[in-house]
Amino acid sequence: MERIPILRMGPFLLITIQVDMHDKLAMQLQDDVTQRISDWGSAGVLIDISSLEIVDSFIGRMLANIAAMSRVLGAETVVVGMQPAVAITLVELGMSLPGVRTALNVESGMELLYRSLGTSLGVAHDRSEA
């Protein structure tokens, strides 16, 4: 069965969505992410949607759900690289994804995750000063 790969990068999970999301794939992703967080004890999830060009309300809700579920499991979620057209569509659909943190690209998303890790664990991480 087709699924979206979830990569482990140190304390974080990196998910790059490169195919058009359909509902089944989205449900599968939700299952996988929650499973991985609990398996590996990840502290953050980074979802790169820069290749995603079409969204609907279901995908929007899925992103919000993953963020909410991850938070329950103790992990921050950052969505990065949203296309302008996608952002406009989500706003027009009335989905502002209030619980989801966002960043422009993977690099700044990672920075954001490292910073939140540094503060929440009370560790002075060297990248948190950048």
Partner 1 sequence: MSKLGEIISQNEEHIRSEWMKHMAASVQRSDLMSNVELQEQSRALLKAILHGVSSSQPDDFSGPGWSTAREQLQDISASRARQGFSPSDTATFVLSLKQPIFSTIRRELSGNQNEMFDTIWSCTVLLDKLALITAETYIATREEIISRQQQELMELSTPVVKLWDGILALPIIGTLDSARTQVVMEELLQTVVATNSKFAIVDITGVPTVDTLVAQHLLKTITAARLMGAECIISGVRPQIAQTIVHLGINLEDVITKAKLADAFALALHKSGRTVVRTSSAPNVNAAVIPAVQKEG
Stretch that binds partner 1, among 9-17, 23-31, 81-89, 117-125 (CB under 8 A): 81-89
| Token code pair at residue 22 | 């359909």
Binding map of partner 1 across residues 20-59, x = CB under 8 A, - = no contact: ----------------------------------------
Nearer to partner 1, 36 or 89 (CB): 89
Nearer to partner 1, 44 or 109 (CB): 109
Name the minimum Å distance from CB 86 to partner 1: 8
Q: Report how far Cα 19 is from the mean position of its chain's Cα atoms.
A: 16
Size, binding site for partner 1 by CB under 8 A: 21
Coil/strand/helix, residue 2? coil
Residue 101, C-beta contacts closer than 8 angstroms, at least 6 positions apart? 67, 76, 77, 78, 79, 112
